[in-house]
Structures are given as C-alpha cells and as structure tokens.
Structure 1
C-alpha cells in the first residue's frame, strides 16, 4: 500500500516536467537529497505507530506528543493536501487516457478534466466498499505498474539516447541547484514524488499486527519508489531534451519513453502503467483523507457526522461524500488556472507546502515521545532521534524557504487552504471539545527498549493507545468509548 500511495508511475507522469523546470538535469539529485530526510520521517511514523494505533496517524500523534492544536494542524494539512490532490491526481489519468485516441484531445484541459473526474468517481466508489477490497486491488495494480516501470526504465538506460550525455553530477547535484532557493524549490517538488507512503499509518486500525506492519510498510515503500524514481528520471534525461519535456503543450513524456524502448506498443504499455498508478494513488489518498476526517470526527474537532461508519461496509461514508463533493468543485474551478501543466505545477507546489507541515511535526513528535529512551542505545539515538529530527528540520526548511519564493497563486492555494482550518479549530476549541482539553500523553515506557531499538511493546505512558484501537481490522474502539476503526466497529453516535 505504501508503494501504491506514492504512485511511482503517476508521480513521474505528473511531476517530472515540474522537476525539470526547477532542477533541470539534476532532478535525480533532488530526489536523492529528499529521500534521505524522508526516510527519517518514515522512521518517525514507524515508532509513533508502535505507541498509538489511530486512523488519524499524525493528527493523533502530534496532538498527544506536542499539543492538540498542532495535532489538528497536522491532520488538517493532510486533509487539504489530499483534497487538492484529487484534481492533480485525476488530470494525468484523463490526459493519458485521451492520448490513446488523440494527441490534440489529450491537451484539452476540459476534456482531461472530465475524463479524470470520471476516474475519480469510480475510485471513490471502490473506497466506499472497504479496505479489504481495496488492498486486493492494490496488490494487482501496483505489481503490474512496478514491473512495467522497472522493465522499461532499465531498458531505456541500456538503450540510451541523444538528448544528453550521462553525468555523475545528475546524482549529486553539488553546485548545480542555483543556490538555496533553487535547491528548496527542487526539493519541494521531490517531496511530492514521495508523498503517499504514509497511507499505511492511516490504515493501522484495519491492519493485522499494525504496531509493526504499518511502520515497516512505510519504510519499504520509501526505499522502493526511490529506486524507481532514480532509474526512470535518469532515463528521461538521456532520451528527452529538457526543452521538449517542459514545453507547454508537450505530449505525455512516458509514452515517448515507452515508444523509444518498444516502438508502437511501448507507449501504450506506459499509458497502462500510468492509469494503474493513478487509480491506485486516488484510492490510497481517499483512504488517507477519509480516515483522517473519521478520527477527527470521533474526537469532535470537526462535525461528529464525519465519524460515522457505513453499517454494511464499515467505511467513513460521510467523510468520503464530503471529499467527493468538494473535489468535484475543485475540478471545475481548476480550469481557471489554464493548461493541464499549469494546474499540475500549482497543485504540486501547494501540496508540497502542506505535506511539509505534517511531516515536520511528526518528526518532532517522535523525538518528544521517546525522549526518555533516545540515549539508551545507538540505534535509538539514530533511528528515533537524529534521523527523524533531521527530517523534521529539512521539512521545516522547505516550508519556510518556499514561502519566501513561491509565486502568489501557489502560496494562496497552499497557505490559504491551511488557514481555512483555523475556523473549525477555533470553533470546537471554544465549544469545549475534549480533544483540546487533554494534555500531552504520548510517551514511550522504559519497558519497550531492546538493544536494536525500541521494540513494538513500548506503550504510551497513560496506558492506552491514542485512539484506543485494536490492531485487527474491524475491531477498533475509540478512546471516547465507541467509535469504531475506519474499517471496523460502528460509530459512537
């Protein structure tokens, strides 16, 4: 699920041109320097998930380890980034589908929007049916997608091209980013590539042995997609010129890559990979946003109706319905931005700002939650202390630096959506939500330490997990005494 969440084929299809516009040929270096701190955040999710099994993930962890207001900010950051992504995720699906029939039609923004919206609605229906069905579909789609990317990526490297001659500077990038501003812009785009692996944390209440499996899944996902990103991005540098890649009305570049490796059929196979990837990532992102709203609804930090689970499928259907309606509105409104490439560029930058917020807070939260245990071993110091903290600082740097340099439209989308969250925060805080009245309560016990790092039996200092969730699918009960896991028991309402 973590690989499906990061959606390697989709990320490459939608973001490679954006990365080329900010980093040029050293896009692989931007991916590398973002992957290292991103792994630190994955370690943070791994260890926080051992303390608190909760569909809200960073919303719950940050709220309990740092402060409830920061927890809400973390949760809201995910909600708005995921909602904006519904447009950014669906447009490439529409564009690549139309490219099978007409290149000119694939460049039509309204046509791509309409087909993309149709794909989105199909995925919303599948998510409504429950995580068990979703997981089976993901195994098949992700397996085919990864196989196609790996085969064509390696074949493209072997085939080579005339667009550029390989240079080791592509992998390191030293002295080629154009200063701090250029590096921050490229790294923000790279962060978007990786985003989505943390869906395993939002599915923790529906995962067997989730205190272990959710975190490990995220770590494997980050490493796996990084390898695919590097292979394909280097191949693109060799085969497609930067001018052709970043042209306003450029044809989908993965079809060009596919046809270079296998003329005629290769482009269509790459379209299949993008379609499968887009379907997969729309599913996982819908899972993330609906599970987060579900957790917030049962905590009464958003309307309690968001905490309702469907009686038959045990999925947060109200949260899903609201996200679908808002997203369809964004589909229509996004066309005011212009071309598909312009919409994607603005969406990627805005989402990058938003995800850097909750990733940074999660990286800090694990250090606070495990503060008594960090110095018990070298492993603890590295994997719970230094690496996650470095990841948090890196994400904070990306947020601050890009706030200073991004164009007004991208800042308005990114920061404006975050600012909207202040309204429900203030309303439910003043209304006396119990969530805002509880103090910090997430801390690891000394009984969970082993020589290779904190073991999975470390529990929170107050004796319960944040949501009170059991690890089995369909059996979670909330700390408020009734709300089931997103795939489990019925809501307390």
Structure 2
C-alpha cells in the first residue's frame, strides 16, 4: 500500500503545490541558488587581491550579516509564511511603498544575475569545445538564451522536477569541489604544488587586515557569493512545514556555504600561494577565473572537470534564480501590487505560470539588449548587483525588528532573534549599500563612465530608481488602489496560506 499526496486548494490560498519540498529539498535549492562553484570562480581571486592572506576570514566576516538576516527571514517566515517574502513582510511592517520597493529589489537582483549566469554558462559550454569567444559573439548570445529558456521551462513545469534536477546538479558541483580540495592538498603534502604555502592561523585573524578599504571591498565581494540562500524562503508555501522548514533550511544553507567557501579558499592558498605571477592567487590575470588558471596543473587531463562544474553551477543557479522572482511577483499580483495576470497559477503544475514566463522573457530581452548595446554595461550591471541585494536584505532586517517590536522584550530569545541580530544585519547591509554606492561613483570603478561618474553607480542606483517610477505609474491604475490604500495587504491581513500544510494535503491508500 502506498500513500499518494493530493493537493487541495483553499479559497484563501494562492494555488501553489503545497507540501512538495522537505528540509533536504529546500536546502538543496538554497545551495544551488548561490551557485557555489561559479561564485568561488568569480570572487576568490578578487578577494585575495583585496586582502591577501586574510581571504578566509573575509569570507567568515561576510557571513555574519548573512547569518543575522537569515534569522530575520526565519522569524518573519514563522509568522508570515508567504512566498512574497520581502515584499509581503516589508508591506506588513512599513506599508505599501516600502514593501513594493522591497519586491522590486528582489526582481532586479534576479534579472541581472540571471543574465550573467546564462552568459557564463554559455561561455563555459563553448569552452568545452575549445572555443574562446567574445562575450557578444552570436554563439554566446544564442546559447545563453537557450539556457534561460530551458531553465524557465523547468521552473514552469513544477518545483518537484526542479528539485530532482537540482539534486543531481548540486551533487556534481560538490563532487568537483571535493576533487579540487583533495587534489590541492594532496599536491601540497606531496611537495608538488606550484607554490606550497603552509596553513597559518593568522589567515583567520579578523584583526590582521592591513587596509580598511581592502577589507570593505573584500567583504562586499564576499556578500555576493552568499546571496541566493533566501530562495528556499520564497518556496515556503510549497514545503511540507511552511513555518519551520524554510527558516531552518536558510540557516543550514548559510552554514554549509561558510564551510564550503572557507575550506576551498584555504586549500587554494595552500596549493597556489599568494604570488603575483604564475598560478598565484595574487596574480591579477587569474582573478576572473582562478579555476581555469590552475585546472591543467592540478588535474592534468581531467582539467575539464572544473569547466563542467562551473557550467553546471551557472545553469543550476539560472533555474533557481527564476523561482524567488516568479513567486515574489505572484504575491504582488495576488495583493494587487501588480496586474492580475501575475497571480495566475498553472492548474496542473501549480507554478506561477505567467510570472515565470515573464521572468524568462524579460531576462532574455535584458541580456540581449545589454550585450548588443555594450557588454561593458552588462558587466557594470553585474558589479552593481550588491546594491540591490543589500537593499532588499536590509529592508527584511528592519521589517523584522519593526514587525515584532511589541514582542522584543517578552524574552531574551525574542530580543536576540527578532530584534538584535536582524537589526545588526540590517545596519551592516545598509553600510555595505552606502559604501558600495560611494565606491561606484568613482569613474574608475567598473567598465564604463556615464554622465561623468561610474557607470556601475548609474546602473545600480538607476535600476532601483526605475522601480520608483514604475511604482508611481502603477499607483494610478484602478487595480492598485486597494493596495496603496493599505486594504489588500496590511499588518492584520491573514496570510494566504494555511496554518497547517495538512489543510492542503491529505494521504489516501493506493493510487489516485
């Protein structure tokens, strides 16, 4: 005899496939969203250039605000397990204007990184065939759009099939990282590493940073590699225990990422050292892609394994990046913050059908347009990604403190998890936002100069400003009136998900 889950919609639900994900599935999707292999490839070299031997502690320091904000996500999710996450929580805490902008921050970050991931996946796809093409080559563009379309289809097809695919793709990524660490340490202890550098505890000394600007730059870079764990919160309505599993998965994801990043960084430093030539991590020529620089020396004829790992990492994250944005705009459609079409859910697959397709189309058009206009502007938009991330994470932290303000002094635990840690995380990210914006103002920052200032600043702040314009335009549409009046979503609005997942799922003996 077997038990078969039957999804039962409730009148006040959004129609998503509730009860699909367990703790493991949620954690896998959270990990996959961060693209651990690609994140290390894109960041490790630059962090070492910024702080040298303090790279491991830089990753640890950057983990702190992520952990603090993860507590904010967990506490808010326990109270309000809504797939709108920052949009819903920000609206309930501060009102419709702040909430709408929080949702826009999530959408902007997703769109920009999706274009980047698709491009990286395409570059590495062609690299497997020995082709090194310009970023604006038609073959790069075509394959990138194919990857976006394929992963959009997977996301539209259902979260369950997406989970199965992510299990496989994440497994391959971690096998590749394990091979990298084992091979690096093996050569270190065998004395065959190009520049064997013994481990020093000083690498983990938070007081050994020699430059404040280098420290802030490294931490800001490291923030990028942790971003994405909150995807498991956007799937809260599709878990078997919406109030417990997503928050636990978020914290577990953060810890696993910390161990992964610090472990790989230490192994890389022991293998290649910090030299400024050859395969040294201090060599700026290797900063864009450290794995490609060492793959042949480290793995010999099996160097292609690292290329495949980066390709898979980018493709994997392309799919999981679509998930939170589509569910965020679904919630915005449900609560009248966007046109009604955005609240459509596929009757069979129980996914945000219209929102998912829109995400794929918009990301493709954005990528094609930016690449054809100037690949440098596309790269600047990627560099500015930290602004959108810090923006909506900070809103979440502040929203947690303000939403639970009447409960903060009822117990020590409530004060710490609902107040102190989220507030500290939000303040750290606010500083990161301001410091990043100041740095990006410099015309020397990034790849372009627009209006006499850094193009990265113009693109980053401009993308958030576009949200303000769209929000004001939407304000004048009749459907928006109840939202901006605080009627369709406010602190007292009941969450449009059941209190108990059993309200969605029942089990029967035998088949359907």
Tell me the TM-score normalised to structure 2 length.
Answer: 0.81
Match of 1:19 in 2: 47
Give the deviation of 1:385 after TM superposition: 1.9
**In the aligned structure 2, how far is the partner of 1:475 from the partner of 1:42?**
27
Give the deviation of 1:345 after TM superposition: 5.4
Give the deviation of 1:10 after TM superposition: 1.9
Match of 1:420 in 2: 466
Match of 1:232 in 2: 264
Q: Deviations over 1:367-413 (max 9, x none)?
A: 12222322333322222222111111000000011111113111122
- The 3 A distance-change label for structure 1 pair 136 and 474 is farther
Match of 1:298 in 2: 334
**In the aligned structure 2, how far is the partner of 1:321 from the partner of 1:25?**
44
What are structure 2's unaligned runs of at least 5 residues?
A: 1-28, 446-453, 506-512
Check conservation: 2:84, 2:329, Cα contact below 8 A: yes
2:348 to 312, 321, 324: 312
**In the aligned structure 2, how far is the partner of 1:203 from the partner of 1:270?**
30
**In the aligned structure 1, how far is the partner of 2:41 from the partner of 2:238?**
31
Match of 1:147 in 2: 175
- The 3 A distance-change label for structure 1 pair 9 and 127 is same
| Higher mean C-alpha displacement, 195-204 vs 236-245 | 236-245
Match of 1:254 in 2: 291
2:203 to 166, 170, 192: 170
Check conservation: 1:156, 1:257, Cα contact below 8 A: no
Check conservation: 2:377, 2:455, Cα contact below 8 A: no
1:29 to 38, 57, 76: 57
Give the deviation of 1:67 after TM superposition: 2.2
**In the aligned structure 1, how far is the partner of 2:143 from the partner of 2:284?**
23
Q: Work out the number of aligned pairs and report it.
A: 451
- The 3 A distance-change label for structure 1 pair 109 and 235 is farther
| Higher mean C-alpha displacement, 124-133 vs 165-174 | 165-174
Q: Does 1:383 align with 2:431?
A: no
Match of 1:289 in 2: 325
Match of 1:199 in 2: 231
SS at 1:375 equivalent: coil
Match of 1:350 in 2: 384
Match of 2:132 in 1: 105
Q: Does 1:183 align with 2:236?
A: no
Check conservation: 1:255, 1:268, Cα contact below 8 A: no
- The 3 A distance-change label for structure 1 pair 69 and 463 is closer
Match of 1:217 in 2: 249
Q: Does 1:79 align with 2:107?
A: yes
Tell me the TM-score normalised to structure 1 length.
Answer: 0.83
- The 3 A distance-change label for structure 1 pair 251 and 396 is closer
Q: Deviations over 1:269-297 (max 9, x none)?
A: 22232222222211111001111111111
Match of 1:9 in 2: 37
Q: Deviations over 1:210-242 (max 9, x none)?
A: 110011001100110111111222333344455
2:300 to 255, 263, 267: 263
**In the aligned structure 1, how far is the partner of 2:202 from the partner of 2:374?**
35
Larger radius of gyration: 2
**In the aligned structure 2, how far is the partner of 1:474 from the partner of 1:91?**
42
2:361 to 322, 325, 328: 325
Match of 1:96 in 2: 124
Check conservation: 1:63, 1:71, Cα contact below 8 A: yes
**In the aligned structure 1, how far is the partner of 2:503 from the partner of 2:42?**
35
Check conservation: 1:310, 1:317, Cα contact below 8 A: yes
Match of 1:480 in 2: none
SS at 1:314 equivalent: coil
Give the deviation of 1:16 after TM superposition: 2.8
**In the aligned structure 1, how far is the partner of 2:420 from the partner of 2:39?**
29
Give the deviation of 1:55 after TM superposition: 1.3
Write out aligned runs for 1:65-76 (5 A).
65-76=93-104
- The 3 A distance-change label for structure 1 pair 297 and 471 is farther
Give the deviation of 1:65 after TM superposition: 1.4
Aligned CA RMSD, in angstroms, stands at 2.8
What are structure 1's unaligned runs of at least 5 residues?
A: 443-461, 477-493
Match of 1:393 in 2: 427
**In the aligned structure 1, how far is the partner of 2:307 from the partner of 2:502?**
34
| Higher mean C-alpha displacement, 383-392 vs 217-226 | 383-392
- The 3 A distance-change label for structure 1 pair 84 and 475 is farther
**In the aligned structure 1, how far is the partner of 2:378 from the partner of 2:255?**
25
